[in-house]
Amino acid sequence: MRAVTARVTRAAVRVDGEVVGEIDGPGLLVLLGVHRDDTAAAVPVMARKLHELRILDGERSCADTGAPLLVVSQFTLYGQTGKGRRPSWSAAAPPEQARPLVEAVVAALRERGAPVSTGVFGAAMAVESVNDGPFTVLVEV
């Protein structure tokens, strides 16, 4: 499981022009990809890492501050570009495997008390963010 995680001052995701998820104020925008070999064992580890990631102001985390997270599924994080010019998506989990794992990460974050907004799995989404810093890290489990 892989997450490109950005510290933001605000972020939103739209589907068909309608806002389906947003955070307003300091928080994290999480673009979450699932590898074809990922299992449910990765879920609590990813949720803990995201919630406790100390990249907010003052080296604090969402767990410390109560800051929100906007989680957007993104299979393209496992695009492979080693050959040619067209990415291969063979490392990404198929939707029927990825969706429950993405939903489980969101549920695990909420169980930890984190305020979480989301995109819509599999939808064509427009994601906007105001990156703070910018400060972006790759989180892998």
The active-site residue out of 9, 74, 81, 135 is 74
Taking each helix axis from N to C end, the angle separating 95-111 and 42-52, rounded to the nearest 10 degrees, works out to 50
Question: Is 76 annotated in the active site?
Answer: yes
Question: Is 97 annotated in the active site?
Answer: no
The active-site residue out of 5, 9, 75, 135 is 75
Nearest Cα to Cα of residue 21 among 120, 123, 129, 131: 120
- Burial pattern 64-103, b for ≥16 Cβ within 10 A else e, equals eeebbbbbbbbbebbeeeeeeeeeeeebbbeeeebebbbe
The active-site residue out of 9, 65, 76, 135 is 76
Question: Is 80 annotated in the active site?
Answer: no
Catalytic residues: 74-76
